[in-house]
Chain A
């Protein structure tokens, strides 16, 4: 297809024609751009409206939340945040503490264990490497639900139910194959001569990992850490299954309790706490936007 369109006997006039077309395109583009911007701005507003609505609902008196599209509260109910924080049987201080502990440990676990595995796959020679690698790639496709029940039974046997261990220990065992894949891709781009030179100088594989590979891979580590943070912070199924005591609840489990409260009057508080729960994610997104965008384009992470 390409060749037939390019196959033009008069090459010089084609080049001139191309230049002319480029000029008209540039002119047309600036005119089109205004419409394009208007259209895009409208689209962005529609996309963002639900989130703005949530923020506005968290600041409105309860009787203004429903039945209107208007976002500006007649008076700001900052109290929703104060009261929402202590609206449930256990304070949100506790829920945030729990979420932070689980998330921080998970991020550390993922970065350490996945970078270990990725280093082995990308840089070390050993028997059976290719087989292990393809097995690892196969677990990428595996839905979590297939291992969910046996994992639960295993942790039940170990007496780990109602502790954070089932949520954290797997992260130290590199169960998120996505991150291994991401890091392998990154490690492979680093020049091999570095390892070889270090090896000549008598560096151990661990020294090479720690002093050469890791410092050069900060963007990949950061991407893995960011996604690990976002996923763990929002994880719902894991805590839902393994945590039964309200005192151990994470923030998402706590938010769900607002729905079973049956009291209509807690809407403002519910939205206030919902907004707070996504603030950390939002901040991460704003600060690390470039790494997130690259991470997705590179590997299709969600």
Chain B
């Protein structure tokens, strides 16, 4: 017994803050949230069990739920590939013994680190306002700029552009990945007279597949969780005409504007299911397109 304690006590002592957090702020809340999603709960009166009514209402009747899914998916499917393509392209430009690489890297990365801030979200609103910078540029080219922020057909692009502007952090991860590709492969390919496209598709992309995979999963999860910029740019409500009703924004408003805690919990579980589903797809398909160096592909 004493031996058992002597072996385990230090470990559990050091782990105790995390254990407290894990039970009270992670597992406990997860279980509670699952239970709440089957109840009607407005804080003022105790939760009332209603079975799967919330989920049924959500999928069958709730048009705003479908709208929020549409907005979020459109955003994810535009912003994630956009971000990754820019990140890889710029990383390849930087991946040489090029002068001042540190400065470029810093300049390209800076938007990533500031991009989530409220200051940048406020800035973005003004850049895309009717007389803002973006429309000034559009007019220079000779077109008339749209009403980015009040036209539901255009509003989502402002956020997609904001996301792509932050390609810096996947770029840094790509850079690290590119460094790890042995230069001999390219030399061998040149002996075989392979052109730049051939080299990209036959060497760079396959060798980089694990990093692409990592970035893809990471960016996708981040994109599904987008909140700050959507909140600021859409006046906190998904304006105009629910065209910026991100899933997280809908959830926030259900919970903290209307105090429908049960329904909001059900929404949270749908979000978890969606993120889980896409992560699982990425992992399940990865064996077809991701080959790690230490295995035979």
Contact = CB atoms under 8 A, between A and B. Distances in A.
Interface in A244-266: 252-253, 255-256, 258-259
A17 B189 CA distance: 12
A57 interface: yes
A69 B132 CA distance: 9
Contact of B17 (A172, A236, A253, A292): A172
Contact of B272 (A67, A143, A174, A255): A143
Interface residues of A, number: 104
A113 B232 contact: no
Contacts of B106: 285, 289
B189 A302 contact: no
A116 B255 contact: no
A74 B191 CA distance: 59
Contact of B132 (A66, A141, A281): A66
Given A17-B191, A51-B114, A124-B14, A136 B22 contact: yes
A125 B21 contact: no
Contact of B8 (A25, A47, A127): A127
A296 B119 contact: no
A230 interface: yes
B190 A302 contact: no
B152 interface: no
> Contact size class for B?
35 or more
Contact of B21 (A154, A170, A204, A234): A170
Contact of A150 (B11, B17, B36, B218): B36
Given A143-B271, A281-B113, A302-B169, A69 B14 contact: no
Interface string A112-155: 11101101110011110100100110010111111111111110
A117 B12 CA distance: 9
A274 B133 contact: no
A116 B117 contact: no
B116 A234 contact: yes
Contacts of A241: 256
A189 interface: no
Interface string B248-272: 1001100110000100110011011
A28 to B, nearest CB: 11
B70 interface: no
Interface string B86-120: 00001001101011001011111111111011111
A147 B31 CA distance: 9
Interface of A: 1-2, 5-6, 8, 14, 17-18, 21-22, 25, 29, 33, 36-37, 39-40, 43-44, 47-51, 53-54, 57, 65-69, 112-114, 116-117, 119-121, 124-127, 129, 132, 135-136, 139, 141-154, 156, 170, 172-175, 180, 204-206, 209, 230, 234, 236-237, 240-241, 252-253, 255-256, 258-259, 267, 270-271, 274-275, 277-278, 281-282, 285, 289, 292-293, 296-297, 300-302
10 contacts: A21-B187, A36-B93, A50-B124, A117-B18, A147-B25, A153-B261, A173-B21, A277-B117, A293-B109, A297-B176
